[in-house]
Each structure stands twice: as structure tokens, then as C-alpha cells.
Amino acid sequence: SSGQRLYAVMHDTSAIDIAYTTDLGATAWTAPASLQGMTGKLRDVGQFFDTDETARNVILTETHLFWLDETNNALVTLYNLPFRGHAIQPFRVNDQVALLIFMDGGRVHAYLPSGVVLDISPGGAQGMPSGKDLGPATEGMTCLAATGQYVYAGFSGLDTAGSNQKPFILAFDGHV
């Protein structure tokens, strides 16, 4: 929910649709044409604060991070992902507010309110040491849990040869 609107972000096999209601009982929904039938695979939805500390609804697909422009009923691209997106988690990086973006291959980027993106992947931009890296996996997934001190991310995916499942858990304390 954002302000007085409750949003429904839905995904079927071929499209993403967004509708909202201002009705407390959610009996009447508005589905703006500009927010219907978007291509892509929906991965996650959350809230993040911009540089003015305004809460923004954000939507992660496999290829992009968007924010929902409620005034114009549009999705605005914040970031084109270099790897397939899996999940997002608001957190902090070096004591700055950040939105962590978890992607294929165990890659993690931190999106800051200023629009700066930091690669905080395990092992850096080059990934994990040889033999421990995850490759792309269309069926891979990321499960998140956040506490006041850590974000825990459980990744599953194939090895870089594309054959063996190589799950691992990342515990991130917000410092790089």
C-alpha cells in the first residue's frame, strides 16, 4: 500500500499487470491501461526511499528494477540488471540506505537513493573463487531473511558448467 492506495502486482505466464484500489474493502479496483500487459517475469515487489526520503513502490523483474510512478500510472526504469534478477531487500551499505538486488550467479548489487549502484557480490565483480561460483540458472532462486544486523540470502543455482546444483548462503552485515 502507498498512501491511500492498495496495489496488486500480478504476473501470469506472459505479462505483468498492476491494479489499485482506494476502497477500504477492496471491492473496486482500477487497472490503468498503461500498467497492463507489460512483458517480463515478475520477481519481487517492495518499498524504497528516494533522495527526498519519499517511499516509492519498486518492482523487480528478471531484467529491470522499476519504481511505480503513481501520478502518471507508469513504471520508470531505475536500473537495467546485468544478471537475471531474483529478489530485493532494503538494507544499508556502509551506513547508507540501500536497496540490495540479488541476481543470478550469486551476484548482489546495492542501489543507493542517488542512483549509484555498487557491486557488493561475494568475491567482488569477478564472482566467487573458481569452482565455487554459481552460473546462470533459469530455475535458480534466492530466499531472503533480514535482521537488524544481517541480511541472509540463500541462493540456489547451477555451477558455471551448468550441471550441478550449488546452493550457498550469504550473510551480509552492511559493510564492504
Residues 91-128 have pLDDT tens digits of 999 989 999 999 887 789 999 999 999 998 876 555 55
pLDDT at 1: 43
Half-sphere CA count of 93, side-chain side, radius 13 A: 19
pTM of this structure: 0.85
CA distances from 51 to 54, 113, 115 (A): 7, 5, 9
Helix (H, G, I), strand (E, B) or coil at 78: strand
Residue 2: is its pLDDT beyond 70? Answer: no
Q: In what order do the strands lie in the sheet with 74-80?
A: 42-49, 55-61, 64-69, 74-80
The mean-pLDDT minimum among 31-35, 69-73, 86-90, 162-166 falls in: 162-166
Residue of higher predicted confidence among 42 and 169 = 42
pLDDT at 3 over 70: no
Residues 6 or more apart whose Cβ sits within 8 Å of residue 43: 60, 61, 62, 85, 86, 87
Angle at 93 between CA 62 and CA 142, to 5 degrees: 35
* Alpha carbons 176 and 168: distance in angstroms, whole number: 19
More confident position, 22 or 123 = 22
Q: What is the pLDDT of residue 52?
A: 83
29 contacts: CB under 8 Å, gap ≥ 6: 8, 19, 20, 21
